[in-house]
Amino acid sequence: MKMSIKRVIITEFGSPDVLKIVEEKSLPEPKSDEVRIRVMTTSAAFTDTMIRKGKYRDVKDKPPFSPGYDMVGVVDKLGESVTKFKVGQTVADLTVIGAYSEYICLPEDRLVAVPEELDPAEAVSLILSYMTAYQMLNRTAKVQSGQRILVHGAGGAVGTALLQLGKLLDLEMYGTASESKNELVTSLGATHIDYNSEDFIEKVLSMTNGEGVNFVFDAIGGDVLKGSFKVLKPGGTLVSYGFYQSIMGKGGNVPLDFIRLLFWKIWPNKRSATFYSIGSLRNKHEDWFKEDLTELFNLLAQKKIKPTIWKRMPLSEAKRAHELIEQAAVQGKIVLIVSNQT
Strands (E), 67-119: 71-78, 90-93, 103-107, 112-113
Query: Can you tell me the distance from the alpha carbon of 73 to that of 204, in angstroms, rounded to the nearest whole number?
Result: 42
Report angle CA 225, 51, 137 to the nearest 5 degrees: 45
pLDDT at residue number 251: 58
Q: Write b or e for each residue in 18-41: b if 16 or more Cβ atoms lie within 10 A of its Cβ, otherwise e.
A: bbeeeeeeebbebeeebbbbbbbb
Asked if 332 and 305 count as a contact pair (C-beta separation under 8 A), the reply is no
Q: Write b or e for each residue in 257-292: b if 16 or more Cβ atoms lie within 10 A of its Cβ, otherwise e.
A: beebbeebeeeeeebbbbbbebbebbeeeeeebbeb
pLDDT at residue number 330: 85
Query: Can you tell me the distance from the alpha carbon of 338 to that of 61, in angstroms, rounded to the nearest whole number?
Result: 23
Angstrom CA distances, 334 to 46, 103, 124, 227, 308, stand at: 10, 20, 10, 29, 9
Q: Which of 61, 53, 95, 27 is nearest to 243 (CA)?
A: 53
Domains of the chain, earliest start first: 5-125+308-337 (3.90.180.10), 145-276 (3.40.50.720)
Beta-bridge partner residues of 38:
74, 103
Query: Can you tell me the distance from the alpha carbon of 1 to that of 203, in angstroms, rounded to the nearest whole number?
Result: 60
Query: Can you tell me the distance from the alpha carbon of 250 to that of 306, in angstroms, rounded to the nearest whole number?
Result: 32
Tell me the average confidence (pLDDT) per consecutive run of 10 residues in the chain, 342 residues long. 87 98 96 98 94 91 97 98 97 98 97 97 96 97 97 93 97 96 96 96 97 95 87 94 63 60 64 90 96 98 95 97 90 91 60
In sign, the C-alpha dihedral spanning 282, 49, 136, 240 is positive
pLDDT at residue number 28: 95
Query: Can you tell me the distance from the alpha carbon of 52 to that of 338, in angstroms, rounded to the nearest whole number?
Result: 19
Query: Can you tell me the distance from the alpha carbon of 185 to that of 318, in angstroms, rounded to the nearest whole number?
Result: 26
Query: Can you tell me the distance from the alpha carbon of 73 to that of 37, in angstroms, rounded to the nearest whole number?
Result: 6
Query: Can you tell me the distance from the alpha carbon of 340 to that of 342, in angstroms, rounded to the nearest whole number?
Result: 6
pLDDT at residue number 226: 87
pLDDT at residue number 245: 54
Contacts of residue 132, defined as CB under 8 A and 6 or more positions apart, other chains included, come to 158, 161, 241, 276, 278
**Whats the size of the chain, residue-wise?**
342
Amino acid at 263: F
Asked if 174 and 150 count as a contact pair (C-beta separation under 8 A), the reply is yes
pLDDT at residue number 49: 94
> What DSSP string runs through 99-111?
-SBSEEEEEGGG-
Which DSSP state fits 62?
Answer: -
> Which SS3 state, helix, strand or coil, does residue 224 take?
helix
Which DSSP state fits 130?
Answer: I
How big, in percent rounded to 5, are the helix, strand and coil portions of the chain? 35, 25, 35
